[in-house]
Structure 1
């Protein structure tokens, strides 16, 4: 077995590339220490980290969330695709294969086509090909999340966390421990840490009609800004412990709900016409994915907007 490099007390040096509209150009190096690993790890390890570097050229909070996109620990994906158990030997074999493996250059669609063809011929993919296949959606999730954060700047710090940039691990060879090795090729993002309670863990009494409506309003705001989210669920909403007051024009609003996790989201494509977009939104039904669930959970009187309703053609 490979020792997981994501554990409480671990320290990393990170290279941060700030978001596109940041006043800081170039990259920034910081040191962080892991305070908590959010369990269970499903697709991406998500870590609560403390900043251990002072005098930065960019203002960062002392506590942050580091989310990494590491195929080795995408546990749900590995189980779904029956990936082989990780070991030092399997990783060495993959790294030896990777430079010459054409799989690393395949798109996700090309991978799916190859896997369909292999299934028809009853060909089992090699362990190395399975690892390369897993790396492909992880890379897509990473890019999706960065694009959504950068696209939804107006909601950062309000309905969604602030986004501070892309990350890569800086490997210091003199401190390397073979059983605790981080991987410089693994990308990540650094975002605002939000202390609070996930919506699925909130008591029924705490799920007020106003809070339920706020969930739907946030989802609709994403649609209004050209975002399709295929992973809308209770677990991806946080009720802050200290809501605080947010300035918004001449009014003050309480920050009483924050949405997270946009890895399975995408922006509307430039070549996607109104009809195509409407059908994609209708079939995904992000609004219903949260509205109907809340209705079942706490009896909220959910009223669908039918904003993207598509009539069935006769």
Structure 2
């Protein structure tokens, strides 16, 4: 049985219960699912409509939930057993008995156990998924905080602390944090992926749009962020009459797989890591090839690979 065959709450027209943390206060609200961004990868992303005056925002928003049941990419990468309702019941009991908390503690304190995934039982698999996705959520929330001055201009404005409570399968009451789901609410950018600009824009606009995407990458990097998962679909292009020069504005999304400058030993280590990752090449080279002459990529050489990289 595929995980998506379970009673998935993420269906257009459904309403899901959320808790938002705004200015230190936790507020309960309902979110109506308007449409999904599929396929789900590391998170479940969807457009939602929320009636919550404390948000001080109007219109639809994007909800990203780091839900282990529907993290399709991570499940496939880790070659996990197919999900079943029996596995879910077993995991809930594992949480309630304290085994899940003990396993996470061991996982964080014992590096060896992280390499023993093939020997884990299904409850430990689910526990690992939950913990790993919690880490991805924390990273994305921290990145948005670090990019505070770019919010609403280069990246969407976020509400980075959202919880969907977990419930017991036998008693409809909230249970442990190890079953609840963390998420982020984002300003909804009504546009299209950078990948598809040839379908939505004129050829003469491709150069400036792609260059803007690369400049956004540079501005984010200047704030001490290295992105290990730069994709052309990580950029949303929105028609914007205020941009008289090209008529379009670019935003970057998806920051769960990022590192911070503070995690690197020194400037050389940071610069080399940025060069090897080649974030701008992941956009420039791909779009140059895709647009077949409609965009010419000029490498900035902001970061240079170490000499030994070519040996």
- The question of a shared fold, defined as TM-score above 0.5 by the shorter chain, is answered with yes
In 2, distance between residues paired with 1:100 and 1:270? 31
Match of 1:69 among 66, 82, 107: 66
Match of 1:235 among 220, 233, 236: 233
Compare 144-153 and 82-91 and name the one that shifted more: 82-91
Could you tell me how far 1:295 is from its partner in structure 2? 1.3
In 2, distance between residues paired with 1:166 and 1:10? 21
The match for 2:28 is 29
In 2, distance between residues paired with 1:252 and 1:59? 31
Gaps of 5+ in 2: none
Structure richer in helix, relative to its length? 2
Match of 1:157 among 152, 160, 166: 152
The match for 1:21 is none
Match of 2:141 among 141, 146, 150: 146
| Partner SS for 2:156 | coil
The match for 1:266 is 259
Q: How does 1:1-314 map to 2 (within 5 A)?
A: 1=1, 2-18=6-22, 24-53=23-52, 56-98=53-95, 99-101=98-100, 102-106=102-106, 110=110, 113-116=112-115, 118=116, 124-170=119-165, 185-203=180-198, 205-206=202-203, 208-240=206-238, 242-245=239-242, 256-269=249-262, 272-298=265-291, 299=293, 300-313=295-308
Q: Could you state the TM-score of these two structures normalised by the residue count of structure 1?
A: 0.83
Higher relative contact order (CA 8 A, sep 6+): 1
In 2, distance between residues paired with 1:229 and 1:6? 28
In 2, distance between residues paired with 1:279 and 1:227? 14
Q: 1:25 to 1:136 in 2, by over 3 A?
A: closer
Q: 1:107 to 1:309 in 2, by over 3 A?
A: farther
In 1, distance between residues paired with 2:37 and 2:69? 17
Residues 48 and 193, structure 1, Cα contact 8 Å, conserved in 2? yes
| Partner SS for 2:119 | coil
| Partner SS for 2:55 | coil
In 2, distance between residues paired with 1:197 and 1:260? 12
Compare 303-312 and 199-208 and name the one that shifted more: 199-208
Could you tell me how far 1:110 is from its partner in structure 2? 4.6
Could you tell me how far 1:273 is from its partner in structure 2? 1.2
In 2, distance between residues paired with 1:270 and 1:41? 29
Gaps of 5+ in 1: 19-23
